[in-house]
Amino acid sequence: MAAQTILFDFTLSAESQTTTSAQRQEVAKVIRSELELLFPQLELGYVLETPENGYFAVLHENKETIVTIRIFKQGLLTINVEYYLPDGKEPLISFDTLRTMELILRQKLDSDRSKYLPPIKRGGYIDIYMTSSDERIIEYDIDKLVYEARSPFQKIQIMHSKTLGNMLILDELQNIAESDLIYTETLMGRGVENYEGKEICILGGGDGALLYELLKEKPKYVVMLEIDELVMVACNKYLNSICGDVLEKRKSDNYEIIVGDCVEYMKKFIEDGRKFDYVFGDLTDIPISGAPIGECWDFIRTIFEHSFKLLKPDGKFLTHGNGTSCLESLELFEEQLRLLKPKVKYTTTKAFVPSFMEEWLFYQVTFA
């Protein structure tokens, strides 16, 4: 159950059609006549008309369905329809009806551009809307909440998508889904990197997918540092198609999972003189910001500093970046790499990640 919000907007061919109050009133009359075909008992509840702000009206049918009309003096019109839809009920207005209404109004208003959006579902317990890396809205075909809990570190949810399978969502952001093998394979450079007999450190990786896929490559030993026990418990139960049983065993002849702050364990490894062939950064995303300042950027720099102290001279640091549309943040990230001492060099690869619904960039960093 949720509130359904349907949005229409039109741009008139001639801006002069809405310049005066009388013109706006005439346009409003056309809009209302069409709306009354859909809602025969539609009543006018409130009107505001000013030279500066144009025309605004609130209409309702039995005080249940609310319609707002806004006519800007610059020739832009918006119509919003909102109503409550109980579970199991058919939508109040069908897709075909919405399309027909848009086309009729476009013709009658002499509009050269029009658009309507299918119902935006607001207030439901299952949140089907998330954002791309550059903060565009994405609607998912989520039909079930599989798991939800809050750890000391974050909100953890596993949702089921009809097309993507179970999805891990951390603090309202999509993390990985059963559909996302390409993410893990691109991060690890499958087919390019040779992990046989190598020593590897994974920073984060609580979903277990990276560890599971790396173990197929016959490494000598993998140590994974993950802070959130509850993420691993949830993924072990509901995402074992991507992590197998590695989160259940926690330790074997060729791997170990350590629960704790990765920075503290990295410091200990450095003190002990421990070295790795590969270090994976499977942690927080690159922040969307205008400057490399703040807690997240400080954390990224700390990870860089410690990771390269743990790498062997010919070792490699592999990490995900962000969506390829986040050019400014990716440039800030690369700027931090260029500032590292000793100097490093990097290459990048790209992959379209199904549950992110966008292309992501991955980094391969070595000593220069």
Mean pLDDT, the chain, rounded, equals 94
Asked whether the beta carbons of 29 and 142 are under 8 A apart, the reply is: no
Per-residue pLDDT tens over the stretch 180-200: 999 999 999 999 999 999 999
CA angle 313/311/294 to nearest 5° reads 125
pLDDT tens digits for range 46-85: 999 988 889 999 999 988 899 999 999 999 999 999 999 8
* CB-based contact 366:344 (threshold 8 Å): yes
Query: Tell me, what's the pLDDT at 288?
Result: 77
Choose the weakest-confidence range: 51-55, 104-108, 210-214, 350-354. Answer: 51-55
- What residue has token string 């970046």? 321
Percent of the chain at pLDDT > 70 equals 100
Q: Report DSSP letters for 225-252, one per residue.
A: EES-HHHHHHHHHH-HHHHTTHHHH-B-
**How far apart are alpha carbons 41 and 50 in whole angstroms?**
27
Report helix, strand or coil for 349.
strand
Specify whether the CB–CB gap between 177 and 161 falls below 8 A.
yes
Residue 348, Cβ neighbours under 10 Å: how many? 13
pLDDT tier for residue 106 given thresholds of 50, 70 and 90: very high
Domains and CATH numbers, the chain: 2-122 (3.30.160.110), 129-177 (2.30.140.10), 181-367 (3.40.50.150)
Q: Which active-site residues does the annotation give?
A: 282
Q: Where does the pLDDT of residue 2 fall: very low under 50, low under 70, confident under 90, or very high at 90 and above? A: confident
Which residues are within 8 A (CB) of 6 and not within 5 positions of it... i.e. 6 or more apart? Answer: 80, 81, 82, 93, 98, 116, 117, 118, 119, 120
Q: pTM, whole model, 2 decimals?
A: 0.88
Q: pLDDT tens digits, residue range 316-327?
A: 999 999 999 999
- Predicted pLDDT at 153: 96
Residue 177 has pLDDT above 80, yes or no: yes
What are the Cα distances from residue 345, in Å, to 107, 128, 293, 321, 365?
58, 40, 23, 15, 6
pLDDT of the residue at 178: 98
CA distances from 84 to 54, 78, 141, 258 (A): 29, 20, 20, 48
Residue 50 is predicted with a pLDDT of 87
